[in-house]
């Protein structure tokens, strides 16, 4: 484990995203109607993501335990105005997908990227578990960090060429594909 003893506590935030792509619209229809046998998929996936963020050091062996100050898990369905079905999504066959975006914050000596990734992965796995009876061909894809802020390296935004307004809203399956680090 890397020592963080000499690092100052600073405000840190990370955002991660991924996507669950269904093979047909059936699962999404059942999720919207809350008609799946295992219950409310969106609510359970949110709780699973929050729990995973809090327990990341138990899942990832060399992660430091961090006192988190905020965890949010946002799941967006295709008809949500925040999730546009773009041409790129249609080409990839992702019209029937749930976008998942997580945000984790803390005031500490190390970043929270792993906690954000754990939250997104656990939320996606929960969606898969709860929907597998109606769609065994669904795919979890595009798990990645889309935004991080704080610490020595400053701000990084997926797809950004320089520092932006801090929203880091690449979200879901759309992705940005950038790797530029922008220091404040």
Tokens for 20, please give them: 């669950």
Inform me whether the pLDDT recorded for 183 exceeds 50.
Answer: no
pLDDT at 87: 54
Q: Is residue 124 part of a domain?
A: yes
Instruction: Look at 167 and 9; give whichever has higher pLDDT.
Output: 9
In this predicted model, what pLDDT tens digit does every residue of 57-116 receive, in sequence order?
999 999 999 999 999 999 999 875 555 555 555 656 668 999 999 999 999 999 999 999
Confidence of residue 123 (pLDDT cuts 50, 70, 90): very high
- Looking at the structure of the chain, the number of domains it has is 1
Q: Which residues are catalytic?
A: 129
Q: Is residue 73 part of a domain?
A: yes
pTM: 0.84
Q: Is residue 2 part of a domain?
A: no
The answer to whether 68 and 105 have CB atoms below 8 angstroms apart is yes
In this predicted model, what pLDDT tens digit does every residue of 2-61 receive, in sequence order?
999 888 899 999 999 999 999 999 999 999 999 999 999 999 999 999 999 999 999 999
Inform me whether the pLDDT recorded for 168 exceeds 50.
Answer: no
Inform me whether the pLDDT recorded for 179 exceeds 50.
Answer: no
Q: Is residue 5 part of a domain?
A: no
Tokens for 80, please give them: 């949500």
User: In this structure, what CATH number is given to the domain that contains residue 23?
Assistant: 3.30.70.640
Q: Which residues pair with 99 in a beta bridge?
A: 19, 76
Q: Which residues pair with 18 in a beta bridge?
A: 100
Confidence of residue 131 (pLDDT cuts 50, 70, 90): very high
Q: Is residue 32 part of a domain?
A: yes
The answer to whether 129 and 159 have CB atoms below 8 angstroms apart is no
For residue 165, the enclosing domain spans 10-182
**How far is 101 from 141, CA to CA, in rounded Å?**
13
Q: Is residue 1 part of a domain?
A: no
């Amino acid at each position: 484990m890397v020592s963080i003893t000499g690092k100052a506590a600073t405000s840190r935030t990370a955002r991660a995203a991924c996507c669950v792509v269904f093979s047909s619209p059936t699962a999404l229809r059942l999720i919207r109607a809350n008609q799946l046998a295992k219950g409310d998929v969106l609510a359970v996936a949110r709780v699973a993501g929050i729990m995973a963020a809090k327990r990341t050091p138990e899942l990832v062996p060399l992660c430091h335990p961090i006192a988190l100050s905020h965890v949010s898990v946002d799941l967006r369905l295709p008809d949500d105005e925040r999730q546009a079905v773009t041409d790129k999504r249609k080409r990839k066959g992702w019209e029937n997908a749930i976008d998942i975006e997580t945000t984790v914050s803390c005031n500490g000596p190390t970043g929270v990227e792993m906690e954000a990734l754990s939250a997104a992965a656990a939320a996606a796995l929960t969606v898969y578990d709860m929907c597998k009876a109606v769609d065994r061909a669904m795919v979890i894809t595009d798990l990645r960090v889309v935004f991080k802020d704080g610490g020595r390296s400053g701000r990084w935004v997926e797809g950004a060429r320089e520092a932006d307004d801090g929203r880091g809203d690449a979200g879901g399956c759309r992705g940005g594909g950038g790797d530029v680090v922008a220091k404040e």
